[in-house]
Structure 1
Amino acid sequence: MNLEDLPEEPEERCPAERREEEAAKVLERMWAHRSRRAFEEEDLPQKDLEDCVAAAQRASTSSFLQPYSVVVVRDPERKRRVYELCSQQQMILDAPVFLALCVDFHRAEKACRDQGKELAPIDLETLLIGCIDTSLFAQNLLLAAEAMGYGGCFVGAARNHPLELARVLGLPPKVFVLFGLVLGRPCDDPMPMPRLPLEAVLHREQYDLESVSAHLDAFDAQMRAFARRLNRELQARGAKKVNEDRGFRDRLAFRLSTEKRPSPRDRIESCLKNMGFLAEGEG
């Protein structure tokens, strides 16, 4: 169908009743999201993957730059090397594909040189644009995959050893893996994780400083209640229980306080500079 063939009136293109049904389906799919870490042996057909990537490309992009690429890894030996560099997470080996979601300014550098120009140094603002656009692309990709009956989980551990992972994937300068994504036909059914109260993230006109503590209190209690429910399910399966005393504050302090445990990602800034990002004085 060509654009000229479309009816002029929105109501003719998509009646209100149908629009409501389609909106409900999209919202239902978004509400149903869970990270899936166990997969059937079934492969993910190339056509399905290409459809997901094409849908992901419709995500918003700053100034039409589209500064991202995705490297698809299916080869068992290469996946094993990715697994070793990404905290040895079993789901990387079990999923039929591992997707390396990359911030990509190599393409922009090539375009500039084709025009007889040089790419400006990739400063913090430019890096942020790349990270934001890649993340929007990635979330669209996962949503498309879920709509097709697949499931997945993002892999932040892809930033543990960015230089080594870049070599495994043959990435040129000015390209790095922002995070990974395992995809496949899920065979697990995890309990959906709760989210912060809507009022904790939805502010009106100005940031609501007064309610932060109250929202943290409420979510601490909600997380502990969730842990108790989860442990009943884990106990029935004979699986290891989680700490029921740990609230949301504990989680934030564990990951973000000055007492957080050392991580390979602590050297991400120097790695990015070695890969052609963050001009001198940035970061």
Structure 2
Amino acid sequence: MTKQNQQQKAVPQPPNGPQRPTSFPAQKQERQPGLETAMNPKPQFISPVYLPAGKLKGKVAIITGGDSGIGRAIAITFAKEGADVAIIYLNEHEDAKETERMVTEEGVRCLLFAGDIGDPAFCQKCVADTIAKWSKLDILVNNAAEQHPQDKLEQITPQQLERTFKTNVFGMFFLTQAAMPHLQTGASIINTASITAYRGSPTLLDYSATKGAIVSFTRALSANVNSQGIRVNAVAPGPVWTPLIPSTFDAQAVTTFGSDTPLGRCGQPEEMAPAYVYLASSDSSYMSGQVLHINGGEIVNG
């Protein structure tokens, strides 16, 4: 190893905060969505130094992909801030039940909905059941996504293209459409975009396209509902250690995941969640149509 490589491997860690891994054991999950229970090491989903302040007390939130990864971190952090949380997930029941346990330990309520957000009837049911249970909806987080790497554009089948857009874009549309009649002045919609929307990815062509669509949807919807007092923003994470990673990439690629960022490591879900709290709370009352970039230091100018 050269001296230059040694310097690149020396990733600074915060003196008082949690220590975060800079490399990972080789591992591969054979199905999407992946399972947090099968990951090594487990993602860090709540920081021991996070100080809640009741910023979401009495609020009701729906979070897609809330069973694991970034969605789990958002759900638990929202719960710490006082929000009741409804979690939508596909079929990762064990992960979802564990997230439900951690949410309710914070003294708030939790609902679980298992199904495909690409189905508009399922989205309508999730919102209707949440309203029936808790009488209101204040925060919608469109976070669920899937990705399938291919080396060449020609390798993306019509089935893969449709599936990726159905989850990442159509599901966001369907759920937001279902939620809109119930959102009042002060409500917040938060969409999970990606750094790939800004710099692309040579092997995630369809996924990158969906994330670009999410950025455009965020800006357009914000302009559409500004007069209603509803804010719409997005978060564009860089590489983050979630079940999507070992279920997407080959085992060897996982070992160095995120090491090419300026900060020299991937992010952890706990590092994303405070941005969602900010966008969901009155702290961001003068922000709409914007994207927060939490990507390990890469400048994307977007």
TM-score (norm 2): 0.22
Largest Rg, 1 or 2:
1
Larger helix percent? 1
